[in-house]
Amino acid sequence: MLTLNYLYKPPSATADFKSKAEDFIVDELMDIDFTGEGEHVCLEVVKRGENTLTIAKAIAKTAGVALREVSYAGLKDRHGVCTQWFSVPVAIKKHIDFAVLNNENCMVIRQIRHNRKLRTGCHKGNRFTITLRNVSDVRAILARVNAVRQGVPNYFGEQRFGFDGHNLNMAERMFNGEPIRDKKLRGIVISAARSHLFNHIVSSRVEAHGIAVSWPREIFLLEGSNAFFEEDLNDQNVARLLSGDIHLSAPLYGRGDRGIVEQEKAWLTDFTTWCDGLGELGLKMERRALRLVPKNFAVETIDDNTIKLSFELPKGTFATAVLRELVQYQDVSKVVSEESE
């Protein structure tokens, strides 16, 4: 696993993260006008201490359909209280009261019909409410909030890489010729590999000059889009950067040279085998924003050792990328899981 560079130097304060499920609350932010009719039932579910797949299996069993028929906007952490949306096909003339799923770890708070299934990534983002306990220095966290709310490196979170970086170990073996037969597992490993290379480039750029300094020639990412273009720095794209119409970015590695600049290639010289392997898989080069800006940031000091943070992030980004710039945290849920095994 990489040791990622900090934008604002390592935080001095320490704290416990996820001491209990209620310390990590995630609310999915949707931007869909549900039709109220159609062949799909959409369910807003609050889950506690359960992973997304477990809830999906329960929904499938209740509806009498195969698991593959249940869809959801995004995966959510097991160790937390998370509100998320699922959809399942149900014949128009058939009514199922999904409240039968309700228990101490799962609560269906809304069900409504819609004319199409939900697809992964159909939400616009998530709101996080995080309570940190056993904080060594609350004021040290407060002192960093103003900096962090202006943006942090858009790192992929460690959960992308599996327990102790297991997905990256599998990627190394795969790129050295060991096949992965399971298509779903293979996709997870490939995603982890691309995320790892992205983090490496972003961390290298942070070390060199942060995430705000522009190069003379950049590959800019369009706001709200996967589209990008390469261009010399000029008055027009500086103005677009200032307005938020375009963003500085880093590559999600794929085939070809379009979508990556020479400095980024230089930073990947230690990963030649991985880059060649990703190219041979036929993945196209993509870009991802270099900076992650939390929205609607709020802070509440509970007592001398406890602080509550809340903020919104766009889909596909990680709350831990924000948290790591504020505090040196220990994920207590991992410690508990390891002790119970």
At the topology level, CATH places domain 14-22+125-149+293-340 in Pseudouridine synthase (3.30.2350)
Rg (C-alpha) for the chain, rounded Å, is 21
Rounded to two decimals, the pTM is 0.91
Residue among 16, 27, 77, 331 flagged as catalytic: 77
303-320 pLDDT, tens digit each: 999 999 999 999 999 999
152-292 belongs to CATH 3.90.1150.10: no
**Residue type at 310 in one-letter notation:** S
Region of residue 165 (phi > 0: left; psi between -120 and 50: alpha; otherwise: beta)? left
Residue with tokens 């590695």: 253
Q: Which residue, 96, 100, 108, is CA-closest to 40?
A: 96
Q: What is the CATH number of domain 32-114?
A: 3.30.2350.20
Give the number of C-alpha atoms closer than 13 A to the C-alpha of residue 48, restricted to the C-beta side: 11
Classify the C-alpha dihedral 80-82-87-92 as positive or negative: positive
List every span in the chain annotated with CATH 3.30.2350.20.
14-22+125-149+293-340, 32-114
End-to-end CA distance of the chain: 23
Question: Is position 77 annotated as part of the catalytic site?
Answer: yes
DSSP string, 129-179: EEEEES-S-HHHHHHHHHHHTT-EE-PPPGGGG-GGGHHHHHHHHHHTT--
106-161 pLDDT, tens digit each: 999 999 999 999 998 889 999 999 999 999 999 999 999 999 999 999 999 998 99
234-268 pLDDT, tens digit each: 999 999 999 999 999 999 999 988 899 999 999 99
Confidence of residue 337 (pLDDT cuts 50, 70, 90): very low
12-33 pLDDT, tens digit each: 999 999 999 999 999 999 988 9
Query: pLDDT at position 1, please?
Result: 63
Region of residue 124 (phi > 0: left; psi between -120 and 50: alpha; otherwise: beta)? alpha
Which stretch of DSSP H or E encloses residue 330? strand 328-331
Region of residue 109 (phi > 0: left; psi between -120 and 50: alpha; otherwise: beta)? alpha
